[in-house]
Structure 1
Amino acid sequence: MYDYTLLERLLFRFPSFDHQKMKSELDRKTILITGASSGIGQAFAFLLADTTAHLILVARRESDMNAMKSEIEKGSATVTVFPADLRIEEERNGLLAYLHQLPDGLDVLVSNAGISINRPIIESFDRYHDFTRTMAINYFAPVQLMLSLIPLLEKKNGQIVNVSTINVLLHPFPHWAAYQASKAAFDTWFRSAGPELTIKNISTTTLYLPLVKTPMIKPTLAYKHSPAMSPVHVAELIGHALYTKRTVYKPWWLFLGQVTSLVFRRPIDWMVPALLKRKERDSRNG
């Protein structure tokens, strides 16, 4: 179904998905999807085409979302396109103003928008903006949205789905400082807020994902032949979360990485610089 290799089928074993249960759960609900114009957000929006949900698609690429709207509304769902660059506070404020005037309120927030940067620190000395823009979309944007939308979600016994990464649960990797710090910041915020949201009858779910075959990973050549999840598969995990209220999804093998990160932290701290030095030396000699 997902055009997986044998290895990918082994790595990405998750609970089976029941489309009818998802449809019954989401019919007539209002669902906000950030990062909706491609990848996971796009796949999830198309998954809901045969529901009677009202989908609010948010991303920068308005033309792409308008094309999605035309296709999705051939089914029974209705779509509102709201173009916004969530890195910019003024545009986040505009989105929130629109959401607060919705006559039917808001039932679900799928927090999917994000950015990834793979760049060594020594190449970042004059690129402070890499860190500010990464924090803006991966941390400040979802925090501001949720602080404003929690009262709306509370009225509807709503749900928040946070699309995260396995990196926040593992030993940090070189060259990913901006990305990992921003994703870890929001993961900590969301886990801290979770119990408070629960007593407000707001369900929370976090998907800790490995590589996913989205446009975001294309600039990293090392990922070209790496095992990666299908966005459609991730969309179904989101759908599964919405009818089961499951709080966490992560690959079955992630615990091995977590144990390794904890038990072998000192050897890793010693080995990684050695590997970086060797790579730098080979690059100079090559």
Structure 2
Amino acid sequence: MNNYSLLEHFLFPPTALNRQKLGRELEGKTVLITGASSGIGEQLAYLLAEIEVHLILVARRGDKLSAMKSEIETKAARVSVFPADLRNEQDMEGLLAFLHQLPNGLDIVVSNAGHSIRRSIYQSMDRYHDFTRTMAINYFAPVQLLLSTLPLLEKRQGHILNISTVNALLLPLPHWAAYQSSKAAFDTWFRSAAPELHMRGISTTSIYLPLVNTPMIQPTAAYRKLPAMSPQHVAKIISKSIYTKRKTYKPWWLIFARLAGYSR
């Protein structure tokens, strides 16, 4: 955040994080983070490292997860790593079996894994796999994960945090058909399920993020010079949401972006 430009400081004001409240909320609990090997997931894991919490880190890169485990466990947290591609049925089944045998159950799920793609429809006519792959990780994987773990979360009066995008709340944009439809699909599923989950004692939080400076945006050259939130900043927003139990996080300027879109 210290490297923010003046414009980024204006767009992304600081987040005040009460680490004592966070510690009290998480001590002794088990937190699952998907997409944990880079970007937002990685920074969240490091932020929580000072707390006596059990972190379950899931991502495709097992070597990176092992390195993170070694570093984080020099501090207070305990870490389990589970290398998995959540689009792969066998990997998902293995993860779910692992979660259901946890001796202390599951308290928090941070659904962060995702895939972004920017491509024109006319460049996608022979790339149907762009759509199936994007839906697989951005929609079907979190739905399958949560359907299986809801009994665990209900038992612990747990909390689900969905790391979403402001695109899910904006009018659809050209070149983003695969990404925006997949993120909107899970956002709609999650918001539809939320009242039922609340009745069973499970808290839900939807975090709608602007552009974030992670490896995911690097293939899109046009984004490299645009204002972007830092993954460290996002990790603070997620952490604060864990103890405040806020239902949504949205950038302060989103209402103006939505009005601009509807006025086109």
- TM-score if structure 2 supplies the norm length? 0.98
Aligned to 1:182: 182
How many correspondences in the alignment? 264
CA contact (8 A) 2:87 2:141 kept: yes
Alpha-carbon contact 1:165-1:209 (below 8 Å) kept: yes
The offset of 1:90, in angstroms, is 2.0
Q: Give the whole-Å Cα distance in 2 for the aligned partners of 1:219 and 1:86.
A: 22
Name the SS of the counterpart of 2:50 in structure 1. Answer: coil
- Paired residue for 2:36? 36
Matched, 1:91 2:97: no
Aligned 8 A contact 2:33 2:55 in 1 = yes
Aligned Cα RMSD in Å? 0.9
The offset of 1:186, in angstroms, is 0.2
Contact kept, 8 Å, 1:2 with 1:233, in 2: the verdict is: no
Aligned position for 1:252 = 252
Distance across 2 between alignment mates of 1:39 and 1:106: 23
Q: What is the identity, as a one-letter code, of the residue corresponding to 2:242?
A: L
> TM-score, normalised to structure 1's length?
0.91
1:148-182 Cα shifts (integer Å, max 9, x gaps) = 11110000010000000000111111111000000
Measure the CA separation in 2 of the matches of 1:217 and 1:183.
16
Question: Structure 2 counterpart of 1:17, which letter?
Answer: L
1:148 corresponds to which residue?
Answer: 148
Specify whether residues 2 and 204 from structure 1 end up closer, same or farther in structure 2 by C-alpha distance, changes over 3 A only.
farther
Counterpart Cα distance in 2 of 1:56 and 1:13: 30
Give the aligned partner of residue 222 of structure 1.
222
- 1:261 deviates by 2.4
Residue of structure 2 in register with 1:274 after alignment: none
Structure 1 CA distance for aligned equivalents of residues 147 and 50 of structure 2:
31
**Contact 1:164–1:207 (8 Å) recurs in 2:** yes
Q: Which has the larger radius of gyration?
A: 1
Displacement of 1:59 in angstroms is 0.3
Residue 106 of structure 1 contacts residue 156 of structure 1 at CA under 8 Å; is this kept in 2? yes
Q: Where does residue 59 of structure 1 map in the other structure?
A: 59
C-alpha distance in 2 between matches for 1:119 and 1:167: 15
In 2: Cα distance, 1:3 partner to 1:69 partner: 27
Deviation at 1:15, TM superposition (A): 4.2
SS in 2 for 1:81: strand
Displacement of 1:5 after TM fit?
Answer: 1.0
- What corresponds to 2:197 in structure 1? 197
Alignment partner, residue 272 of structure 1? none
Distance 1:137 1:2, change over 3 A: farther
Aligned to 2:243: 243
Give the conservation status (yes or no) of the 8 Å contact 2:57–2:81: yes
Contact 1:13–1:252 (8 Å) recurs in 2: no
Letter of the 1:185 partner, please give it: A
